[in-house]
Structure 1
Amino acid sequence: MLTSNGYVLDPARVGALEPVPEHERHDRDALWERLRRHGYLYLRGHLDPAAVNAFRAFYLDRLGVGGPAELPPDRLRQVLFKEIVPGPEYAAFCSQEAVRGWYAWLLGGAPFLHRRKIIRHVKPGQRGVGTATQAHYDLVYLREGTDQVLSSWIPLGDCPLSRGGLVYLEGSHHAVRAKEAAGLLRHPAASITADLPALAEEYDSRWLVADYASGDMVVHSAYLVHAALDNRDPDGVVRLSTDIRYQSAAQPIDWRWQHDWHDRDGL
């Protein structure tokens, strides 16, 4: 059973996220065509799992997350937002050659990494609305820059379905783009809903899911609706992930995103 913020997904409205086939991995034109068609690129094994797991260990050890030495909430926020988020370890991870170099190749020019980068950890058993990332599309938070900004969602460690990874509403980028062009969706930056089953019905679509492994990366359009599942891991493993955003340095940049992420940044 898959849930998000306590809502149970209808199995008839669930499908599989499609990985980029090996013969397309080094074909830039094919990747852009796939991105336009599906709204995402599921790149399995794109990163070195050792590098991913090393950063996971650094993060969990520094905060004590999931262990007996976990920092109290106030101290945890201080270390997260004052030390880890602006720190050299996180900067190096987000700018590693497999990420920054790949974006330079895909974009065909100098890439620009938005400074506002987010790390999320979710413990098993957390329930209720607001626990898991609600359904949204990224453009509502990035309106002052190009709509060609691309998001990378990276699971920091293995993330099977039970651990609560990201899910994508199939084909939603086409409908959202059309509604945006018609001026029907220009509301303040906010999530759409926590009720994923109802949204799938509204769009007559499916939520695409995957058993992610350490080293996977998903790149998605700013128009594609996505959300997260609840962490129901039977072994009590913390789900850790990061989402970062790259674009061409030649395109307009939303300068509100050029500050380090913190819990009161209003975005």
Structure 2
Amino acid sequence: MPHAANPPLPVPLYVNDGLLEPEQVGSLRHSSPHEPLEDLRQRYKNDGYLFLKNLLPREDVLKAREAYFTLLAPSGVLAPGTPPVEGVFDKEKDKLNFPGMYVRHLNCTLLILFHGNTYLKECFFTSSPNPTFGAGSTDANGRPRGGLFVDLALQAHEEPWYKDEFCKHPTLHSFISKFTGWGDNTLGLTRSLLRNNTPQNKAIGVHYDQIFLRYGEDTSMTAWIPMGDVALDGGGLIYLEGGHTLGQDIEASFYDLAEKTGLSEEETRNAFNKNMMSGGLLADGPKEFSEAHRRKWLAANYEAGDVVLHTPYTIHASTINKDPKNIIRLGTDLRFVDSSRPYDKRWLNVYTFGDGV
């Protein structure tokens, strides 16, 4: 594999199911947005992602980060006396009162089997939740735990500085339109996932995006944008080595299983159908997933201005935020499509809690 000779990373990386072993970790390949487009396209095709350094103006990213934490400051999440743009978590507070937004996984036993090269999967579950705030973070009435913090984190998705300015940043839109060749048909979908991750809280489980975009063709592109610097152990995204080809195989197996079990077309397109893991995840634990598939997780230090583009089948997750300075990780997932092709129109609306997508 192209990353097999990478030197070991300097800090330990923890995920939901424990510490990743050195042989389970590699480094993301850096690219410059100024390299020839054909070279970048080939790299994206081969790797399933494109890690672009300094694509966006750093000051624009930090301006949005400052606006976000200024909005959330009344919840008490920030350490007293620290500037909002730094996003320093108040370590005296209970982290469970500040749940991050990620795909939820409830009471599901996952069995992964292989027969030859065929991927088989059986899942026993108790419910079919939507992507929402952290597992176990709801009260008796089903409302997200966290009160004002959660309310403000949801509100941020509709703020003009985010929805109308940051998500529509001309530099990002221009690059993607040229890179993809979509030109004037390039459309940024309104629904986005603006995620914070406070230190020591639960991380994002293993998944690929097409699971949640099945009402359209598999031609979308995700831009993951760290909204601020994210240290190597600060909870950033990790990408499975060669995960885009594995993701395609797994998706094909889901459709085969749907046909064998008699699911309707509507049920098959549902990210939470009965043949899949509750919440649409492939696994809650990246460590075990890496062991099962004998592939490394690729990680990086991220800086404000960096952007990672990835395919709808690229398998990814995140690490637990162990930042020694208690910096809150903030990032967003923006999806882009060719508007001349069929795409998932459920993503034309702003994200809301329990929207079923």
Could you state the TM-score of these two structures normalised by the residue count of structure 1? 0.91
Is 1:41 paired with 2:50?
Answer: yes
* Counterpart-to-counterpart distance in 2, 1:245 and 1:228: 18
Aligned AA for 1:12?
Answer: E
Is 1:88 paired with 2:100?
Answer: no
Pick the aligned partner of 1:123 from 176, 198, 209. 198
Pick the aligned partner of 1:31 from 23, 37, 40. 40
Q: Contact (CA 8 Å) 2:17, 2:288: kept in 1 or not?
A: no
* Counterpart-to-counterpart distance in 1, 2:301 and 2:326: 17
Is 1:18 paired with 2:40?
Answer: no
* Counterpart-to-counterpart distance in 2, 1:137 and 1:214: 24
> By how many angstroms is 1:43 displaced?
0.1
* Counterpart-to-counterpart distance in 1, 2:286 and 2:325: 25
> By how many angstroms is 1:184 displaced?
4.6
Structure-2 residue corresponding to 1:3: 14
* Counterpart-to-counterpart distance in 2, 1:220 and 1:162: 21
- Greater shift, 196-205 or 53-62, is seen at 196-205
Aligned AA for 1:265?
Answer: D
Structure-2 residue corresponding to 1:99: 172
- What secondary structure, in the 3-state scheme, does the structure 1 residue paired with 2:211 have? helix
* Counterpart-to-counterpart distance in 2, 1:113 and 1:213: 23
> By how many angstroms is 1:178 displaced?
3.1
* Counterpart-to-counterpart distance in 2, 1:86 and 1:185: 38
Pick the aligned partner of 2:60 from 51, 61, 67. 51
Using the aligned pairs only, state the percent identity: 31
Aligned AA for 2:224?
Answer: W
- Greater shift, 188-197 or 232-241, is seen at 188-197
* Counterpart-to-counterpart distance in 2, 1:87 and 1:159: 23
Pick the aligned partner of 1:60 from 51, 69, 72. 69
Structure-2 residue corresponding to 1:114: 189
Alignment of 1:197-216 (within 5 A): 197-216=287-306
- What secondary structure, in the 3-state scheme, does the structure 1 residue paired with 2:310 have? strand
> By how many angstroms is 1:235 displaced?
1.0
Structure-1 residue corresponding to 2:216: 145
Q: Contact (CA 8 Å) 2:192, 2:351: kept in 1 or not?
A: yes
Q: Contact (CA 8 Å) 2:51, 2:308: kept in 1 or not?
A: yes
- What secondary structure, in the 3-state scheme, does the structure 2 residue paired with 1:30 have? helix
- What secondary structure, in the 3-state scheme, does the structure 2 residue paired with 1:230 have? coil
Structure-2 residue corresponding to 1:252: 342
Aligned AA for 1:229?
Answer: T
Aligned AA for 1:162?
Answer: D
Q: Contact (CA 8 Å) 2:17, 2:286: kept in 1 or not?
A: no
Deviations 1:102-146 (A, max 9, x none): 1121222221111111111111122xxxx2110000011001112
Root mean square deviation of aligned Cα:
2.1
Change (3 A) 1:3 1:49: same
Q: Contact (CA 8 Å) 1:159, 1:213: kept in 2 or not?
A: yes
Aligned AA for 2:72?
Answer: L
Structure of higher CA gyration radius? 2
Aligned AA for 2:22?
Answer: P
* Counterpart-to-counterpart distance in 2, 1:254 and 1:116: 11
Structure-2 residue corresponding to 1:196: 286
- What secondary structure, in the 3-state scheme, does the structure 2 residue paired with 1:232 have? coil
* Counterpart-to-counterpart distance in 2, 1:15 and 1:114: 31
* Counterpart-to-counterpart distance in 1, 2:152 and 2:336: 25
* Counterpart-to-counterpart distance in 1, 2:51 and 2:19: 24
> By how many angstroms is 1:30 displaced?
2.1
Q: Contact (CA 8 Å) 2:223, 2:309: kept in 1 or not?
A: yes
- What secondary structure, in the 3-state scheme, does the structure 2 residue paired with 1:219 have? strand
Alignment size in residue pairs: 260
Aligned AA for 1:67?
Answer: A
* Counterpart-to-counterpart distance in 2, 1:15 and 1:250: 37
- Greater shift, 66-75 or 2-11, is seen at 66-75
Aligned AA for 1:74?
Answer: G
Aligned AA for 1:253?
Answer: Y
> By how many angstroms is 1:180 displaced?
3.0
Change (3 A) 1:211 1:150: same
Tell me, which stretches of 5 or more residues in structure 1 are unaligned?
none
* Counterpart-to-counterpart distance in 2, 1:184 and 1:14: 32
Change (3 A) 1:185 1:98: farther
> By how many angstroms is 1:98 displaced?
1.3
* Counterpart-to-counterpart distance in 1, 2:22 and 2:341: 40
Aligned AA for 1:237?
Answer: I
> By how many angstroms is 1:176 displaced?
2.2
> By how many angstroms is 1:263 displaced?
2.3
Is 1:176 paired with 2:255?
Answer: no
> By how many angstroms is 1:68 displaced?
4.5
Is 1:161 paired with 2:232?
Answer: yes
- What secondary structure, in the 3-state scheme, does the structure 2 residue paired with 1:147 have? coil
Structure-1 residue corresponding to 2:315: 225
